[in-house]
Each structure stands twice: as structure tokens, then as C-alpha cells.
Amino acid sequence: MIQKGFLKNSFLGLCVVGLMSVVNPCAVPANEEMIPGHEKVMEPTKVLMNEIAKHIDNMLNGLLVGNFKYVGQEASEIVNKSYKINETFFPTDPKENTWFERAKIDPGDSKKVEKLKEEFNVYLKRIASSALEVQNAAKSYDERTTFKAFTNMVEKTCFDCHAEMRDKQIPVENR
């Protein structure tokens, strides 16, 4: 009987503590806040890549719960965001491009800049077409087909672009 009372009171105490933490969550002082990742990445690039990553994450979550309509919508958003890649990496005035600076690319070297832009266009088209493949696969309501299209998109576009553009262009210490 005493053990039941002890367990009951202990459980009640834990519930009260849990409720208190929901009502009054712990605050982290500003000087102890976690430093977000990619602190050396220029803001427009970070925002764009985070948006694309968010949609990829949403697609995976949609796949895991079997919400194919949601997967298709998120794939469509990736297509839309992919067209902003060239705007982000190749602004109108290349002299103001901090990505060039970090990658040690001379903005006055028009041949190199044009070659990079063409390479980016290849990846842009791959992102758009592979996201459209995911969208079409999602219409089939087949988990395996949709997941295969999803993993193909991540492997053949995201990983390939990062390996070629980020890893070869920007030294590790500048990332």
C-alpha cells in the first residue's frame, strides 16, 4: 500500500515538473546560444540551400507517412527554388559576388565565370528534372518507385553538385 502511494506521488510529481517545463520552458542566454551551421556561407546561398533542404526533408517525411500528394507538392517547390540557383551564385554584378571571393575566382575572368555558369546550369536542369521525376512517381502512389526517384534526386543532383562545385571549388577552411 505504501509503495502504491509512493509511486502515485512520484508520478504526480513528474507530471507537475513536465507541465511546468511546458508552461515555463528553459531559456538559453544569448551568449550561450548554439552557433548555427554554415556560419561562413554567404547569406543568400545559405537561405536558398536551407529552403531546398527543407523541401527535401519534407519530401522524405511525406514518403515515410505515405502522403504522396505532399511529396509531389514539395517536389514542385524544389523545381521552383532550383531556378533561383543561378541568380544566387551569379548575380548581375559578379564583382559583388562573395562566393567568387571565397572560391578564389576572379570575377573579371569572364571565360571561367561563363564556364562555371554553364556547369551550374547542368545541375540546375538535373535538379528540376529529377524533382519532376519524383513528382511523377508520387502520382503513381507507389512507395518504392517514389523513394527510388527521391534517392536518385539526392544522389545525382545534390551530392554530385556539392562534390563538384563546393568541394572542388571552395577550400575546406573557407566553407
Domains annotated on the chain, with CATH: 35-174 (1.20.120)
d(CA 52, CA 124): 12
The type of residue at 67 is N
The pLDDT score that the predictor gives to residue 43 is: 54
- Inform me whether the pLDDT recorded for 106 exceeds 90: no
Mean pLDDT throughout 15-42? 43
85 in Cβ contact with 120 (< 8 Å): yes
| pLDDT range class, residue 62, cuts 50, 70, 90 | very high
Of 4-18, 64-78, 106-120, 159-173, which gets the smallest average pLDDT? Answer: 4-18
Residues 161, 164: Cα–Cα separation, whole Å: 5
List the grid coordinates of 111.
Answer: 571565360
How far, in Å, CA of 128 to CA of 116, rounded?
18
Write out the DSSP string of 99-118.
Answer: HHHHTT--TT-HHHHHHHHH
pLDDT at 156: 85
pLDDT of residue 15: 42
Three-state secondary-structure class, residue 31: helix
- Section 26-49 average pLDDT: 51
**Alpha-helix runs per DSSP H in 66-172:** 68-82, 85-89, 98-102, 110-139, 143-153, 160-161, 167-169
* pLDDT (0 to 100) of residue 30: 45
